[in-house]
Structure 1
């Protein structure tokens, strides 16, 4: 019995070896076909992956952006088209993959800009003028990064950043508040218990507090009116009345 089992195993091994030999010989004889098939499968895999994660999809409306992008606060690159009363119109610039981009991008007849508002910021007229100077196109339209915070209908609420060279950038939301050219606004639609809400709220309040302490922009007027109110209160207070009497007594003493 053991001899019979050994003989059977030898036959099986021989068949496996023959099969491997045949496959190897076929691969050697048809190397070009094998490589072409492998390349084709790789391309198909990348195409499927690219479409599934929206790597290079050009978004023409807020509704086209996947919900997971909003939840994960993904940053999108875009070209500023124009300023509006509420914020910006930005043409989305998708990630470009040489050669494969043409395979992955769906045919599009035109581009529609995204409606963008600066999250947590209430713009003033001076703030709009400042934004216009920052984003005024010279030869080519300026580009910005949009960090997605939330979606409200056809509008995206974002942290908008403008590059200033050498991998540095300026967050326009922060800078507007820091210069006193805007007020912080409630971030509606976000869970007040979420980490994103509190991080953003703390960040914007810190920028606004800097403007208030230094008396910039809006807070320059506020600080002067505050000083006037404090001065008036002191004049009408008990200490103020004593000070007036002391001055009056001093002047009468000099006259005598």
Structure 2
């Protein structure tokens, strides 16, 4: 009897080793399959996530942008397409994910987005300044503020639009080529509104102090010339010159 018990224990150990060997072999043989399944599930998850939050969607119109993007003031990347009387047109550049983006983005071309500079009333000189600052096909960032029909009111910058970046909205005011305006689309009682509005007012005040653009003071000669033109003597002189000119023509 004592000899039979060790024999049975050895037999149990052998069976356990055989089971472990078989399981290990199955795991090794199917490791590639398991990895493929895991990769496939990960890709499906990324696709579902990308579609649900529209990270890789190309927007060809303001109406296509989700309302939550506007509410959260999301920043979109785009490429300058052309300039308009109201601002500029920008071709949206969606987030690119290798391999997946070509499969999910059906059309790489489309209509550009109509963009206005939020909180700014551009002058004709301001529009010309904007054309000189931005080159066609240059990359810009649009911080979404408001959607009005097919137009987006945005804070436009060359950088990502962080706290330390300068918006073109500020720069055109700093040059005295625009006037500040209420930032429509933001809650006027919110901290974000007053933070941005303060930055725009500060830029406009800088132009006024420096006498730039709209705030440029006329020289003494210019003021005298305007006063003479509006005075009785000026009008009389102008009439005399006009009469002399007609007499010579006759």
Task: Give the superposition deviation at 1:37.
Answer: 0.9
> Is residue 96 of structure 1 aligned with residue 96 of structure 2?
yes
Partner of 1:10: none
Aligned-CA RMSD value: 2.6
CA drift at 1:39: 1.1
2:75–2:142 Cα contact (<8 Å) kept: yes
Alpha-carbon distance, 1:142 to partner: 1.4
Give the corresponding residue for 1:81. Answer: 81
Give aligned pairs, total.
Answer: 201
Structure 2 residue aligned with 1:123: 122
Q: How does 1:163-202 map to 2 (within 5 A)?
A: 163=159, 170-202=166-198
Question: SS in structure 1 opposite 2:82?
Answer: strand
TM-fit CA distance, 1:48: 1.0
Give the secondary-structure state (helix, strand or coil) at the position aligned to 2:79: strand
Aligned twin of 2:146? 150
Shift of 1:219: 0.6
Q: Give per-residue Cα distances to partners, 1:118-168, cap 9 Å, x unaligned.
A: 00000001101111111233xxx21211111111121111111125xxxx9
In the alignment, structure 1 residue 31 sits paired with structure 2 residue 27: no
1:111 alignment counterpart: 110
Q: Distance in 2 between matches of 1:157 and 1:201?
A: 14
1:216–1:194 CA distance, 2 compared to 1 (3 A)? same
Q: For 1:104 and 1:57, locate their aligned partners in 2 and report how far apart those are by CA, in whole Å.
A: 8
Structure-2 residue corresponding to 1:218: 214
CA shift, 1:110, in A, is 3.6
Distance in 1 separating the partners of 2:25 and 2:66: 48
Q: TM-score, normalised by structure 2?
A: 0.73
Question: 1:101 Cα shift?
Answer: 1.4
SS in 2 for 1:58: coil
- Once residues 37 and 128 of structure 2 are traced to their aligned partners in structure 1, the CA distance between those partners, rounded to angstroms, is 58
TM-score, normalised with respect to structure 1: 0.71
Partners of 1:220 and 1:22 in 2: CA distance? 88
The Cα shift of 1:187 comes to: 2.0
Shift of 1:58: 0.7
CA change 1:112–1:19 in 2 (3 A) is farther
Shift of 1:22: 7.3
Q: 1:47, 1:103 within 8 Å by CA — same for their partners in 2? A: no
Structure 2: stretches of 5+ with no match in the other structure: 1-17, 224-250
Q: Distance in 1 between matches of 2:219 and 2:184?
A: 32
Q: Distance in 2 between matches of 1:36 and 1:27?
A: 14
Distance (Å, rounded) in 2 between the aligned partners of 1:43 and 1:187: 41
